[in-house]
Structure 1
Amino acid sequence: MKLFRFLMMCVFLAGAARAQDAPPPAVVAIPAEIRALSETVTFNGRLDADRRVALVARVGGVLEEVGFDPGATVEEGQVLFRIEPDLYETAVKEAEGALRGAEAARDRARLERDRQAELVAREAAAQAALDNAEADLAAREGDVTRLSAALDRARINLSYTEIAAPFAGRIGVSPVDVGALIAPETGALATLTRLDPIHAEFSVPTAVLRNYQDRVAAGEASVVDAVTLELANGGTYDRSGDVDFVDSAVSAGTDSVTLRARFENPDGVLLDGELVRVTLVAQKPQGELAVPQQAVQRDVQGAFVLVVAEGEVAEQRRVSVTRSTQGYAVIGEGLSEGDRVITEGLNKVRPGAVVDAAPAGDG
């Protein structure tokens, strides 16, 4: 038994000696600094194209040509579909012929009316003959008007055999091929979408909107460059957007208001209908004391940080965090500018322990 106790004492002394010889834990410490941080709020949003139209045939016929590749960018006025025009060209010629005949009949009726008027003036013909000539001329002029409208309709129908892009944009896939018989009942032949610019729509709680609008009115926030986007893969879109629409009604179910922000999208990176995370800058940058957010820890008593005090000793400081933004915690009380706050190696440190503190980036 004495031998066992002796051996245990040796083990204890050896362990104590090793602990005494162990170097202090290495940590990274960053000074608390006054930083220009804006107040931001983040919401879920969805992208909405600036313009979107389903292209539908307005006349029937055999599809003669498809003038685009699916997914391509097309220019305004570019012919996208061409329907066989033969029947419609024939209808135009027929209407032109009917109109010329009606115009000739009107001209004859006018001459007859003028002749009868002259005879009546010389009392060589009855007034009834002039009245009949007047009525016949009116009927012939009505024919001209009716057939002129028929010609216009035939020309319009002929123009409908070419379906052109009403604006520049990206064209989708068409469900019909050349040679197919199509008609208005066929439905959408393709969808044309303009992606530049594009809008992000998102809902904001009414209280947040009120605060934001008050700050805009006071010059403490702006609607210009006020919104940034986080994409589905976690990347950030490299252009900011302007708030250009605030809905006039509050959603009763969520007590929120729909906002819209406009983004330039010249390369078509942003897609119609895409889900995004929308960050609204609710207040312009203010100079505030801040530390990296990972430095702040919490227990049952609240928030605290570990600072490197005199003698390279870790010291616990209770702090109040007013808000978190852009990866930083804004400190209301508990720290002073220049206090070195431990941000890495926190799991190796206890208050009162000596540490080997290095600034961020040292290796």
Structure 2
Amino acid sequence: MSAYYKQAFILLGSLFVLACGGNKSEQQQQGPPPPTPVTAVKATKSSATYYDTYPASVTAVTEVELRPQVSGYITGVFFQEGKRVRKGQKLYTIDQQQYRASYDQAVANLNAAKANLVRAQKDAERYNTLAQQDAVARQLVDNAQATLASAEQQVAAAQANVRQVQTSLEYATIYAPFDGTIGISQVRLGAAVTPGQTLLNTISADNPIAVDIAIDETEISRFTQLMRQSPPPRDSLFVLMLPSGSRYAYPGRILTIDRAVDPQTGTLRVRLAFPNPEGQLKAGLNGNVMVKNSTNAPQLLIPYQAVTEQMSEYFVYVVGDSSKVTQKKVTLGARINDKVIVKEGLNEGEVVVTEGTQKVREGSVVNVNPPGQAGTQGQSTGKQTASVK
């Protein structure tokens, strides 16, 4: 029995070796997989005019919160909410009775002090005359002079009190500090208000109106040069896109550049000014500012469809030697129609896969279709339908 089992094991082992050898032979006969057909184009440089897009927020150039400087009850409201007001226009009145009474009393006290001063002056003059004739004691002369000085100080104090109560009386009427648009009143007739605490309303100057954007610190030089242009450009250099996606009718200009870069974000605030004659732009509105970027330096352009995105990073497949593809990470600039600017990661003349990217991977061998099937290449026309920052 043992000899029988030995022969059986030898037979099975021989069959296994033959089977393995046969599979190896078949694999050798099949060879490597065929190249993957793709479409590819060369990365080329050309001049480009495009728009960089920045998130923007509308804010008033000048905005003031109206708060009372005296206490009391609101006795008058003299404007239409949400409408324009003129500088010096009366807006609110606070109960003036107590301040009018205080003013009248202060004026009366001042008049009494002035009367005392006149009497003291006459007494002092009389005693001085008698003193020259040695007809009065020196002590009486000194007392008269002291009384005169005291009367003068009382008049000065009364005058200061009049100014103080007069100011309070004036503060009981609140006027518009400048031309602008006033908001919805935060108080109504009869409401009690407290100095410096109660918010009455907010008034803002809105023509022109400001639009704030944040630029990267690498763009400071560019925007500084744009600001220094004389006269400031009035064309479509700065375009505001409204939340609805429509284009605002008036172009903007740089109003000011902030003093310092935010160390946490590495950005700098730039404030633009836009005409707002119809009041279409409101403070707090969000949109996008498109800044024309026209440069004489050629830009490296590739079809946007050649770009793949992975985890918020962008890559392209480059066809190299022996028709093998290599994946390269790239930094993108603005998108111009069906093309996109490549800032870093790719060289001019390199061949990038535009169609078939989903079929290839690092090291794949490809068969590039004829150039006629690679899509039309051309330079940027400068007319952009979309832009990517």
TM-score w.r.t. the length of structure 2 is 0.64
Counterpart in 2 of 1:224? 233
Cα RMSD of the aligned pairs, angstroms, is 3.7
Check the 8 A contact 1:59/1:161 in 2, yes or no.
yes
Matched, 1:194 2:205: yes
Q: CA, structure 1 residues 99+145, in 2 after alignment: closer, same or farther (shift >3 Å)?
A: same
Tell me: CA distance 1:249–1:293, structure 2 relative to 1, closer, same or farther (3 Å).
closer
User: Which stretches of structure 1, 4 residues or longer, exceed 6 Å deviation after superposition?
Assistant: 284-288, 318-324
Given that 1:37 and 1:326 are in contact with CA atoms closer than 8 Å, whether structure 2 keeps it comes out as no
CA distance in 2, matches of 1:140, 1:51: 48
User: Which residues of 2 match residues 1-363 of structure 1 at below 5 A?
Assistant: 38-184=49-195, 187-213=198-224, 223-225=232-234, 226-283=237-294, 294=337, 301-302=352-353, 315-316=372-373, 326-327=383-384
Amino acid at match of 1:129: L
1:152 positional shift? 1.1
Q: Any conservation in 2 of the 1:38–1:283 contact (CA below 8 Å)?
A: yes
CA contact (8 A) 1:66 1:80 kept: yes
Q: How far apart, in 1, do the equivalents of 2:48 and 2:231 lie? A: 15
Residue in 2 that maps onto 1:19:
none
Unaligned stretches of 5+ residues in structure 2: 1-45, 304-334, 341-350, 356-370
How high is the TM-score relative to the length of structure 1? 0.68
- 8 Å Cα contact 1:222-1:284 kept in structure 2: no
In structure 1, the gaps of 5 or more residues are 1-34, 305-313, 330-363
Aligned residues: 285
Q: 1:182 to 1:167 in 2, by over 3 A?
A: same
Structure 2 letter corresponding to 1:92: Y
Question: 3-state DSSP class of the match of 1:47?
Answer: strand
Measure, in 1, the Cα distance between the counterparts of 2:385 and 2:72. 65
Separation in 1, partners of 2:156, 2:179 = 38
8 A Cα contact 1:48 1:198, kept in partner: yes
Cα pair 1:74 1:165 within 8 Å, conserved: yes
Q: Identity, % of aligned pairs?
A: 26
Q: Deviations over 1:158-201 (max 9, x none)?
A: 11111111112111122322122222265101111111111111
**Residue type of the partner of 1:240?**
P
- Supply the distance in 1 between the matched residues of 2:381 and 2:243 (Cα, whole angstroms): 23
Write out per-residue CA displacement over residues 246-291 of structure 1, whole angstroms, 9 at most, x where no aligned residue.
Answer: 1221222222211111112121111112112012234479999x99
The answer to whether the Cα contact below 8 Å between 1:296 and 1:303 also exists between their aligned partners in 2 is: no
Relative to 1, partners in 2 of residues 1:90 and 1:222: Cα closer, same or farther, differing over 3 Å?
A: closer
CA 124–272 in structure 1, closer or farther in 2 if over 3 Å, else same: same
> Where is the strand percentage greater, Structure 1 or Structure 2?
1
Q: Is the 8 A contact 2:48 2:294 kept in 1?
A: no
**Whole-angstrom distance in 1 between the partners of 2:194 and 2:95:** 12
> Do 1:40 and 1:325's aligned partners in 2 also have CA atoms closer than 8 Å?
no
